[in-house]
A and B are shown apart, each in its own frame.
Chain A
Amino acid sequence: MKPFKFISATNPGEAIDMLSNNAEAAFLGGGTNILDLMKEHVALPNEIIDIGNLKLQEIKATATGFSLGALAKNTETANHSLIRSNLPMLSKAILAGASAQIRNMATNGGNLLQRTRCSYFYDISMPCNKRMPGSGCSALEGFNRMHAIFGWTENCVAVYPSDMAVALSALNATVKVQNNNAERYIPFKDFHLLPGNHPEKDNSLTHSELVTAIEIPKNNFAANSAYVKVRDRSSYAFALVSVAAGLNLKGNVIQFANIAMGGVAHKPWRALKAEQFLKGKPATTANFLKAAEAEMVAAKALSHNKFKIEMGRKTLVNALELALKG
């Protein structure tokens, strides 16, 4: 690791001040990703601001839904009685990620800020536009089996690795952010970015901003939701494809469906076309299939990940079936 000064913040305002003062400083929450990246010399902060002691751990019900403290641990969030009973899709998604040890360390805010696991991004001897803008994308013509099928550009074909965020996307979450002057709320769809010409930017936070909470509006998905994850081994592996799905049913008719996919794009991929198709239709396998097909039309495979289109289609149908079963 590059040497860094270690300081601790005692409240959010102080933390933001500390960060604003130094363009090369970084926050340390659970540390499960940034330490990994610092050891690889991918992240090179010269100052680490420990925010572990900030009082941002609360998980609570609000007038409009639920609020997850940015520094609540993933384990605590997945196991909170409010989340388990009202947002089981989120519990499942969190529990699908990483290992028990990592979930005990990782924070909700940190989970959103995870960087891609693309091995070219991690290997500092390789070109990578995300790590070193302008150096090129090694994965585009390289080993890209794990990479994107939606929304990629020639600049970057990486995927975003979180499971939790896939459920949050389906749940229409909002990210609450504090900066020097004020608070702002970023809708989930705008929080993570597609690579475009600037793959170095994963999300819409500016340097001096701190995620303080994630807010989730009330919904009726608890009875009919699912999180399905397909991976190369049974546990402790990133998704090849994952799907979070929630159905709002009236009898057998879908009032609306919320669906997001993981492992397929630079951000949680909201399956809007599938959602649109399902609106007002009976919840049948045939309709699920058509919805999945509608979504996958826009998918564009790379040299090693053609399978993700078929896998995405099947997993989407599977998630809807499981959500229907409840």
Chain B
Amino acid sequence: MEDSKKSIGKGIDRIDGILKITGKATYATDYPAKNMAYAVLFKSTIAAGQIKSINSTEAERYPGILKIITHENAPKLNTKGGLRGGALLQGPEITFHGQHIGIVVAETFEQATAAAHLIKIEYNQKEEKIDFEKLAQTPIMPKGKELADLVRGAGKLAMETAEVKVEELYETPIEHHHPMEPHSTMAVWEGDKLILYNGSQIINGAQTAAAATLNMKPEQVRIISPFIGGGFGSKGGQWANLVLTAVAAKMVGRPVKLALTRQQMFNSVGMRQRNMQKLSIGATKEGKLIALAHETISHTAVDDEYIEPCGDCTKIMYEVPNSLISYRVVPMNLILPTYTRGPGKSTGSFALESAMDELAYKLNMDPIELRIKNEPSKDPSNGKPWSSRTTVKCLKEGAKAFGWEKRKSKPGTNKIGDDLVGYGVACGTYPARQRDSSAIIKLSLRNKLVYATVEIAASDLGTGTNTILAQTAADGLGLPIAQINVKLGDSELPPAAGSVGSVGASSFANAVNDACIKITDELLAKSGKQFFVRPTAAQLMVSESITDFQTRSDSKAPAEAEKYSAHSFNANFAEVRINSITGMIKVTRFLAVTGAGKILNPKTARSQIIGGNVWGIGMALTEESIIDPRYGNFATRSFADYHVPTNLDIGRLDAMFINEKDLIPNKMGVKGIGEVGIVGVAAAVANAVFNATGKRVRSLPITPDKLL
């Protein structure tokens, strides 16, 4: 096909956009159901111990109450079914503040909420483990094999031979995902079949986890999730609320809606854990790295382990003969942390890329030059060749576009009125992977026009999946995009990977692309004809007068991909302006240059990148969840205390993509952009703050008080 006729690569509007701008997109609690009942959760007010007694007499008498469910009457569930975070009402044990301890189901939301306040709970309290600063003195080895110490060469010992050293502690706080749609479920039982309307980043994952937990077969559970009001990792794995809604619906024999409150979002669906990262870099006077150590201490739940891998970027970013990556962990009475946008890489890169900036400053070297000087020719962690590596190109192209030459190398010297201005740069990376996914394509010929329906249990949480799959099918079948219908977000469709870890676009688009190739092959075979130029599936439907035809493809990553190290890379450039009196900071300009393979739709891709940048700016400047160690609760418990960036916090954001063709990781050359967009952002901002003020802030977020 001629390029100009191709749909892939064009910045077309989202095909599901019309539903979102008219209020017609249906999220989990937007479905009507006859005889709906409303459920609310009530939660523990201690962090550790046991429930001694629950008195719900008064609540039960409250008007409109249908059922109160606690561990005393909840059905037996499989706690190893694959849901995250426990809290399934299976016993009196309390392991964190805010653990679900019961459900009130009522005729209305107002009644359920009011009655929940009438329930009296007595506890036998135990001493909780919650004071991270204290507990971090005596951390333990994590269980995960991938978290074992990774030593190359002489490891950290080589620091002793370095001429120039940076050894600093970088701290990042607990952050919460806070998708705008709080986790919500509507459960409808039809006989022994269960329908769960629930925003799910991994449709099949939600299905199997719900089924296993409820001791059902996967085919008895259907997940419907055409629209997801944001997820950012918190709707990747599913949490107790999904299944508790089903339990409530079963027990009252009616459809039930259960939406977490914003306050409950702090202790129901994971978080990004707090990390203390010790970063040590040793280099020669010329700026060649000799030693690099990245030692992280973080926390996990008392009964389960999740650790975001902060050392991941450090493993592969720079050429260095001696290195150490290590993890230590503190089990705490807190809900299990979980994947959060750019897990490990966003926080880890804050430490690594801040330290690189500190080293450049000590060496009196441009930070871009320092990075280029230590560019590795192959993946230092495993010796594999890069499928492609775009770091240097990102840095060079970005420097040009951003006007890096205007940066004053001496901090605190760029002043406009009361404002200090600074520039910062930082790099990032995220693995490019393809995961197993299947797709069905159905073609039909009506009134001489060919229509296609693409079916795949993929998800679109605002990433643009609907649109890129329509574009992929349009090109793969030889049809205009207006003749493609995409069906996703339903577990009855062919199974697919999730929108997690930046595998979505590559897994889904390759599955659809493979299905297009396959259906064309099959139509060709069916025609029994030979063609000089391979016809499109659409042309074959017409020429052979086939009214209906369909096929399914089950796609996997190419075997060859294993032999290479495949990643997206970026370079981030930040300009900050800081009021020298009040300390208030604004990121006035930000440029992210990203090498992520084929960009299927630059409009939605740009949105993904700038969205990641906004997340990174939030991480750098405003977001922090704080625990009161005396009680184990969050002292920040609403959007008034937990500051997500507002419109005014964000200045001009530009996204630039490297025009690259890397077909090693997958046939379509798609590398994924959802995660990499946040990686390196916080460091770029923090480095710009240093350039503006001469103050190095190593503990996020950089609030005005830290710059006084």
Residues of A within 8 A of B (CB): 1-3, 39, 41, 117, 119-120, 122-123, 125-126, 138, 141-143, 145, 228, 230-238, 240, 307-308, 310-311, 314-315, 317-318
Q: Which of B114, B621, B640, B648 neighbours the largest number of chain A CB atoms within 10 Å of its CB? A: B640
Q: Which residues of B contact A138 (CB under 8 A)?
A: 628, 631
Q: By the criterion CB–CB under 8 Å, are B583 and A230 in contact?
A: yes
Q: By the criterion CB–CB under 8 Å, are A232 and B45 in contact?
A: no
Grouping DSSP codes into helix (H, G, I), strand (E, B) and loop, the A interface class, with mixed when no group exceeds half, is loop
Q: By the criterion CB–CB under 8 Å, are A2 and B583 in contact?
A: no
Nearest chain B CB to A94 CB, angstrom units: 17
- Report 28 cross-chain contacts, Cβ distance below 8 Å, ordered by A residue: A1-B114, A39-B113, A41-B117, A119-B638, A122-B638, A123-B637, A126-B631, A126-B633, A143-B626, A143-B635, A143-B636, A230-B584, A230-B704, A231-B704, A232-B643, A232-B703, A233-B645, A233-B648, A234-B584, A235-B647, A240-B704, A308-B705, A311-B582, A311-B708, A314-B708, A315-B581, A315-B582, A317-B581
Nearest chain B CB to A306 CB, angstrom units: 9
B630 at the interface (CB under 8 A from A): yes
Which residue of the partner chain, among B635, B648, B708, contacts A142 with CB atoms under 8 Å? Answer: B635
Q: By the criterion CB–CB under 8 Å, are B635 and A307 in contact?
A: no
Nearest chain B CB to A123 CB, angstrom units: 6
Q: By the criterion CB–CB under 8 Å, are A233 and B581 in contact?
A: no
- Known A1-B110, A125-B633, A141-B630; judge A119-B649 contact (CB<8 A): no
- Known A1-B113, A122-B638, A318-B582; judge A142-B628 contact (CB<8 A): yes
B622 at the interface (CB under 8 A from A): yes
Q: Which residues of B contact A123 (CB under 8 A)?
A: 633, 637
B138 at the interface (CB under 8 A from A): no
Distance, CA A317 to CA B579, complexed state (A): 14
Q: By the criterion CB–CB under 8 Å, are B581 and A318 in contact?
A: yes
Q: Which residues of B contact A3 (CB under 8 A)?
A: 114
Distance, CA A314 to CA B704, complexed state (A): 12
Query: Which residue on chain B has the smallest CB distance to residue A144?
Result: B635
Beyond the given A232-B704, A311-B582, please list 16 additional residue pairs across the A-B interface where CB-CB is below 8 A: A1-B114, A2-B114, A119-B637, A125-B45, A126-B633, A142-B635, A143-B628, A143-B635, A143-B636, A145-B705, A228-B582, A231-B584, A237-B640, A240-B704, A315-B581, A315-B582
Nearest chain B CB to A189 CB, angstrom units: 27
Distance, CA A231 to CA B708, complexed state (A): 13
Nearest chain A CB to B621 CB, angstrom units: 7
Q: Scan residues 92-134 of chain B and give those whose CB is less than 8 A from a CB of chain A.
A: 110, 113-114, 117
Nearest chain B CB to A284 CB, angstrom units: 16
Q: Scan residues 377-428 of chain B and give those whose CB is less than 8 A from a CB of chain A.
A: 418
Q: By the criterion CB–CB under 8 Å, are B582 and A230 in contact?
A: yes
Q: By the criterion CB–CB under 8 Å, are B114 and A232 in contact?
A: no
Q: By the criterion CB–CB under 8 Å, are B633 and A237 in contact?
A: no
The total of chain B residues at the interface (CB under 8 A) is 34
Nearest chain A CB to B583 CB, angstrom units: 7
Nearest chain A CB to B41 CB, angstrom units: 14
Query: Which residue on chain B has the smallest CB distance to residue A317?
Result: B581
Distance, CA A311 to CA B706, complexed state (A): 10
Nearest chain A CB to B419 CB, angstrom units: 13
Q: Which of B113, B633, B646, B705 neighbours the largest number of chain A CB atoms within 10 Å of its CB? A: B705
Q: Which residues of A contact B645 (CB under 8 A)?
A: 233
Nearest chain B CB to A293 CB, angstrom units: 15
Q: Which residues of B contact A234 (CB under 8 A)?
A: 584, 586, 646, 648-649
Q: By the criterion CB–CB under 8 Å, are A120 and B635 in contact?
A: yes
Q: By the criterion CB–CB under 8 Å, are B581 and A2 in contact?
A: no
Distance, CA A307 to CA B582, complexed state (A): 11
B641 at the interface (CB under 8 A from A): yes
Q: Which residues of A contact B626 (CB under 8 A)?
A: 143
Q: Which residues of B contact A308 (CB under 8 A)?
A: 705
Distance, CA A231 to CA B584, complexed state (A): 7
Q: By the criterion CB–CB under 8 Å, are A235 and B708 in contact?
A: no
Distance, CA A125 to CA B98, complexed state (A): 11
Distance, CA A240 to CA B579, complexed state (A): 15
Nearest chain B CB to A39 CB, angstrom units: 8
Q: Mark B330-342, 1 if CB is under 8 A from A, else 0.
A: 0000000000000
Q: Which residues of A contact B637 (CB under 8 A)?
A: 119, 122-123
Q: Which residues of B contact A119 (CB under 8 A)?
A: 635-638, 641
Q: 8 closest A-B pairs (Cβ-Cβ)?
A: A307-B705, A143-B635, A125-B45, A234-B648, A235-B648, A230-B582, A318-B581, A234-B649
Query: Which residue on chain A has the smallest CB distance to residue B641?
Result: A119
Q: By the criterion CB–CB under 8 Å, are A237 and B708 in contact?
A: no
Q: Which residues of B contact A310 (CB under 8 A)?
A: 708
Q: Which residues of B contact A228 (CB under 8 A)?
A: 582
Query: Which residue on chain B has the smallest CB distance to residue A234?
Result: B648
Q: Which residues of B contact A120 (CB under 8 A)?
A: 635
Q: Which residues of B contact A125 (CB under 8 A)?
A: 45, 633
Query: Which residue on chain A has the smallest CB distance to residue B580?
Result: A314
Q: Which residues of B contact A233 (CB under 8 A)?
A: 621-622, 643, 645-646, 648-649
Nearest chain B CB to A197 CB, angstrom units: 24
Q: Which residues of B contact A231 (CB under 8 A)?
A: 584, 704
